[in-house]
Structures are given as C-alpha cells and as structure tokens.
Amino acid sequence: MAYNLLKGKKGIIFGALDEKSIAWRTALRCHEEGAQLVLTNAPVALRMGEINKLAEAVNAPVVGADVTSMDDLKKLFEEAMKHFGGKVDFILHSIGMSLNVRKNKHYTEIDYGFNQKTLDISAMSLHRVLRTAWEMDAISDWGSVVALTYIAAQRVFPDYNEMADAKALLEGVARNFGYHYGVKKKVRINTVSQSPTKTTAGSGVKGFDGFISYAEKMSPLGNASADQCADYCVTLFSDLTKMVTMQNLFHDGGFSFTGVTQAVIEQMEK
Ligand SMILES: NC(=O)c1ccc[n+]([C@@H]2O[C@H](COP(=O)([O-])OP(=O)(O)OC[C@H]3O[C@@H](n4cnc5c(N)ncnc54)[C@H](O)[C@@H]3O)[C@@H](O)[C@H]2O)c1
C-alpha cells in the first residue's frame, strides 16, 4: 500500500545491483511513495546491465559513480541536480565491499592495502558523499540521508571480518557529519542496522546460511526482509521523522536487545 509519503521529494539511491539488493527494493518503494529518483552504482556494476530494468520501472536516469572518486561524486550531484531542477531531498547509501573477505583473508591476517580500500568503499564513502553534497550545497534543508549497517559494529560476529570495523567507522561518520549538517542545514543523517538478508553482499559472508537462521531464531519478530527495510527507509526519508538524526537504528526484529529465545534454548537442548 502506498501513502504518498515522498510526494514531491527527490532522491539519489546508491547500490542497486540486482533485484535482491536492499537499494533496489528501496528504490521501488520510494517510487511507489511518489519520489523522483536518480540511481547510481560503480561503473563495473553498471556493466552487468541489471540496473536498467530498475531504471525503467522507476523512471529514473542511471549515473555511474565509483564512491571512492570525488570527481565521480561531483559529476553525480551535478547531473542529479540538473535532472531534478534543484536540490536533493534524500540519499540512500547502500554500499559495502570487503576485499579481504573476497580474498579469503582471515581477520588476524588481513592485507592492509585491501583493508584501506574496504574502509574507503564501505565507510569513508559516506563522508565523501556528504562532503561533496556539503560543498555543492546539494541537499535541501531538512533533507535525510540513510546508510545501511550491521550489528557487527557493536558485537563480534567473527566471520564478518574487517567489515565489522568498516561498519563501526560508517556509524561514526553518520554521527559526526550528522552533527555538522544538522547545525548547518537541518539535514539529518542516520544508519539503519538491518537483519542479515540474502543479497550478493550478504552471501559473501562465510557461513551465511547458518548465520541467517540463527538470527531468525534469536529475533522475537524474525529477520527483517529487504522489502521491510525499504519500508523503514521510506519513513526516514519522509517528513514524519524530521527530528531523528545521528542515530543507529536497529531494524532487526528485536535481535539486538534479545539475550536468548526459547527457540535457541530448545536448539541447544537437542
Ligand atoms: N545483506 C545483508 O545481510 C546486510 C545486512 C545489514 C546491512 N547490509 C548492508 O546493506 C548495504 C547493501 O548491501 P546489499 O546486501 O543490498 O548487497 P548488494 O551487493 O546488493 O549491494 C552492495 C552494493 O555496493 C556497491 N558498491 C561496491 N563497491 C562500490 C563502489 N566502489 N562504488 C559504488 N558502489 C559500490 C555494489 O555495486 C552493490 O550495488 C551494504 O552496506 C551492506 O553492508 C546488508
């Protein structure tokens, strides 16, 4: 059901790779709620061609940008503002990539060159996006920025590897830039900490199937799906959440505050 929550709003969505991507699901929901969109992803992801299907469905242009390139980001905001005929009201940062995970390097043996790249793509990219927007004055007053994160930033999930550190840094950037952008332009910046979700990035984590069913059992409401995450992001982009900023918001069916569940106890007693 649509409520016209984003009628008249204009947003940039980073990170729709295929139809499982949280960004893909969010773009569809934002479109349903009346938003105008610009889609972006790394040039290498665009070459897969999948995103054109989404672009057609939500009637949005696609602009390639590697989030580690300030030039690409500047061009992206220029093109988006040209397309919208004005500033951007909301941004979804839905980007994650770990080179050490990809290369099967254990956390205790990470390659620091890869690690720098991981932190740049997965965390400092939020700073780069915000700084570009700040310098170009590209976000409207009371605009909203959401970045996706995972609870491995607070608690240890060994196979999440260096991405745990990347998420901790990402949440720090959201909080600190959130302060400055709030004071300057009333722009709000939050992270949404999502349940494990079957996507390309998610499935890169070792033992993901065990991980996802453990989280399902440990969450009173069960795991949150990508579509439910999209719904939550819509509320954060809407005018109904104007005073929420600098928060890490758990969207995980209660996992983060649960010590143990009956289902897990029963499993342990088997
Ligand atoms: N899937 C999960 O279990 C889960 C849980 C919590 C949080 N998250 C987070 O949600 C976000 C989206 O991930 P997803 O699960 O939808 O997977 P996904 O693989 O569909 O999305 C990751 C995206 O990052 C993009 N990307 C990688 N390098 C880039 C670069 N240099 N420049 C621009 N874009 C780049 C990829 O092209 C891809 O579109 C990530 O931040 C992820 O960590 C995922």
CB 17 less than 6 A from any atom of ligand 1: yes
Q: What is the pLDDT of residue 40?
A: 98
In angstroms, what is the span from residue 95 Cα to ligand 1's centroid? 4
CB 143 less than 6 A from any atom of ligand 1: no
Domain extents in the chain: 10-269
Which residues, including other chains, have CB under 8 Å from residue 212's CB and lie 6 or more apart? Answer: 196, 197, 198, 202, 223
Task: Ligand 1, residue 163: give the atom nearest the CA.
Answer: 43
In angstroms, what is the span from residue 14 Cα to ligand 1's centroid? 9
User: What 8-state DSSP symbol labels residue 33?
Assistant: T
Short-list 208, 236, 241, CA closest to 93 = 236
Short-list 236, 268, 229, CA closest to 251 = 229
Q: What is the pLDDT of residue 235?
A: 98
Pocket test for ligand 1, best of 95, 160, 198, 212 (most atoms within 8 A of CB): 95
CB 197 less than 6 A from any atom of ligand 1: yes
Which pTM was predicted? Answer: 0.98
Short-list 13, 9, 7, CA closest to 230 = 13
Instruction: State the amino acid at position 39 in one-letter form.
Output: L
Task: Ligand 1, residue 22: give the atom nearest the CA.
Answer: 16
For ligand 1, atom 20: residue with the closest CA = 21
Catalytic residue list: 150, 160
pLDDT tens, residue order, the chain (270 aa): 899 999 999 999 999 999 999 999 999 999 999 999 999 999 999 998 799 999 999 999 999 999 999 999 999 999 999 999 999 999 999 999 999 999 999 999 999 999 999 999 999 999 999 999 999 999 999 999 999 999 999 999 999 999 999 999 999 999 999 999 999 999 999 999 999 999 888 887 778 888 899 999 999 999 999 999 999 999 999 999 999 999 999 999 999 999 999 999 999 998
CB 51 less than 6 A from any atom of ligand 1: no
What φ, ψ does residue 248 adopt, rounded to 5°? -105, 110
CB 200 less than 6 A from any atom of ligand 1: yes
pLDDT tens digits, one per residue of 51-68? 999 999 999 999 999 999
Which residues, including other chains, have CB under 8 Å from residue 120's CB and lie 6 or more apart? Answer: 68
In angstroms, what is the span from residue 218 Cα to ligand 1's centroid? 24
Q: What is the pLDDT of residue 26?
A: 98
Architecture of domain 10-269: 3-Layer(aba) Sandwich (3.40)
Q: What is the pLDDT of residue 207?
A: 83
